[in-house]
Amino acid sequence: MKPRSWSFRVVFYTLGWSVAAFLGAGVSSVRAEVTLASPFTDHLVLQRDLPVPVWGRAEPGERVTVSFAGQKRRTKAGADGAWRVELKPLKASSEGRELVVTGSKTAEPIKLADVLVGEVWLCSGQSNMDFTVAKTEKYYFAGVLNEAEEVAAANHPRIRMFTGQWKKSYEPETRVEGAWLVCTPETVREFSAVGYFFARRVQQDLDVPVGIVTLTFGASSAQAWVRREAALSDPRLAAELAKFDEAVKAYRSDPKALEKHEAALAEWRVKADAAKAQGQRAPRGPRHPDPVQNQHNPTVMFNGMIAPVIPYAIRGVLWYQGESIPGPRELFPVWNETLIRDWRSLWGREFPFFFVQLAGLDGRSNSPEVRALQAEALKLPGTGMAVAIDVGDKTDVHPKNKQAVGDRLARLALARAYGRDIADSGPTAIAVSREPEHGLRVRFGDLHGGLATREGAAPGGFEVAGADGKFVAAEAVIEGETVVVRADQVAEPVAVRYAWASWPVAANLQNKAGLPAAPFRLDAK
């Protein structure tokens, strides 16, 4: 199965409106059959130890019964055809069982095979979360370190992944197409690499099934994943939403906008074919004129991909986004905080929310300032940050070492969601104090055995500044739970920073568990 091929996207954009109109016209003449919401397919994983909502649609007034693991839940479809029941908390089970949905007006019941119960996590964000374990038709430049070996060894029947097809929308959708796939060397190729390596570690440590719901889109912004009502609750975000609404209105009032786009697309195809024939890279294609098809705009990814899966029972969320920040940069942490709070409210639980801080890259997108903005989300309870500063690629925004990223997210989950005694974070700077002889002393937490450096080298990546605010490289020495930094050029240092560069090649501080220190900038007190 290839759930999100480029050909699908072309067909969808070309025929989507016509098909939708045709289907809409036929609804009244075809009797409704009981259906399940899109996350419910064969091979699914249900969340253990929490209430499990099951929902779908049927003919208005139809009586619906859901049977699973000895439970039977009954309800009646509402006037709009929507129905929902809630299974009582289930114990983990690796036995593939059948979930049956029966409708009083439906001839044949729905029977889902090979249903497991375990831990379920939602993975979302942009391309570094979306990129697959192997190079595929969809992502010919994806893949991971030791790709062939990883694929060959991926025989994990208790790991399953649901990957939603890409979809943007102006209004909340009720379905996002996809199917649960059992992890095998054949299927893992199209699994989110970060999601897979996270699941592999958690499944091995907990010895229960693990399901990953992957809802991602390359280059998408944080605001694209935020619900309209949440954006409207903050005047700053509401102003950005208003700009988007005006753009949509302008597009929809131009009857020739799509025609112009098709002409530009045809011209681009000629140029792309010519470039390919000469062995050159194709030029960038024209952007679709519909603002709804721009993954940088507010709400479009939430409406198309997140809304249809709420309230599927999950343990928590894994998030990897930050390379794409359109609009005022100072609003980036506001969008992040709004997203976290609102998703939790929609699911009705303050679930764990773990995110990845951007990896090292010699480029503007992965700047230290952006990493600092990402870290602001840590002020919210139940959040955790997987530092990736040491596993980047100098020239590639999509580093191949997804194993380390997945493992660090898994450590956060194991320690904070499951109570395991495991190192879950690298050293975190707590405070800075002045030292005699022109020095500053940085005190750290999250030591997990003590401070160390990669390969035992002297600590690097530290800088200090005086009252003029000009930072210069500093010498650093580890002393117990602290690092003392000095620079001959700065007689009276007042501030220190670490790994404060897009590509901080000298930064090597870690704890004895091998987890890297997070970048920071602090003033002495």
Of 313, 37, 42, 354, which is closest to residue 195 (Cα–Cα)? 354
- Report yes or no: 198 and 406 within 8 Å, Cβ to Cβ: yes
Is pLDDT of 15 > 70? Answer: no
Q: What is the per-residue pLDDT for 282?
A: 81
Q: What is the per-residue pLDDT for 199?
A: 99
Task: Answer yes or no: is 285 within a domain.
Answer: yes
Is pLDDT of 24 > 60? Answer: no
pLDDT tens, residue by residue, 341-355: 999 999 999 999 999
Task: Answer yes or no: is 269 within a domain.
Answer: yes
Sign of CA dihedral 229, 230, 233, 236: negative
Q: What is the per-residue pLDDT for 31?
A: 60
pLDDT tens, residue by residue, 41-74: 999 999 999 999 999 999 999 999 999 999 999 9
pLDDT tens, residue by residue, 158-202: 999 999 999 999 999 999 999 999 999 999 999 999 999 999 999
Task: Answer yes or no: is 67 within a domain.
Answer: yes
Structural domains in the chain (count): 3
pLDDT tens, residue by residue, 235-257: 999 999 999 999 999 999 999 99
Q: What is the per-residue pLDDT for 211?
A: 99
Is pLDDT of 497 > 70? Answer: yes
Looking at the structure, tell me whether residues 289 and 322 fall in a common domain.
Answer: no
How much of the chain exceeds pLDDT 90, in percent?
Answer: 88
Looking at the structure, tell me whether residues 277 and 375 fall in a common domain.
Answer: no
- Rounded distance between C-alpha atoms, residue 222 and residue 226, angstroms: 7
Looking at the structure, tell me whether residues 289 and 303 fall in a common domain.
Answer: no
Looking at the structure, tell me whether residues 272 and 170 fall in a common domain.
Answer: no
Task: Answer yes or no: is 17 within a domain.
Answer: no
Q: What is the per-residue pLDDT for 141?
A: 85
pLDDT tens, residue by residue, 369-394: 999 999 999 999 999 999 999 999 99
Is pLDDT of 14 > 50? Answer: no
More confident residue, 414 or 455: 414
- Rounded distance between C-alpha atoms, residue 43 and residue 314, angstroms: 16
Looking at the structure, tell me whether residues 419 and 437 fall in a common domain.
Answer: no
Looking at the structure, tell me whether residues 442 and 390 fall in a common domain.
Answer: no
Q: Could you tell me if residue 114 is left (phi over 0), alpha (psi between -120 and 50 degrees) or otherwise beta? A: left
Q: What is the per-residue pLDDT for 506?
A: 97
Locate all alpha helices (DSSP H) within 207-353, ordered by sequence: 228-232, 235-252, 257-277, 300-301, 332-347
Is pLDDT of 27 > 60? Answer: no
Task: Answer yes or no: is 6 within a domain.
Answer: no
Domain housing 105: 30-227+299-424
Looking at the structure, tell me whether residues 37 and 133 fall in a common domain.
Answer: yes
For the chain, give the mean pLDDT.
93
Domain boundary among 424, 456, 483: 424
Neighbours of 156 (CB within 10 A): 19
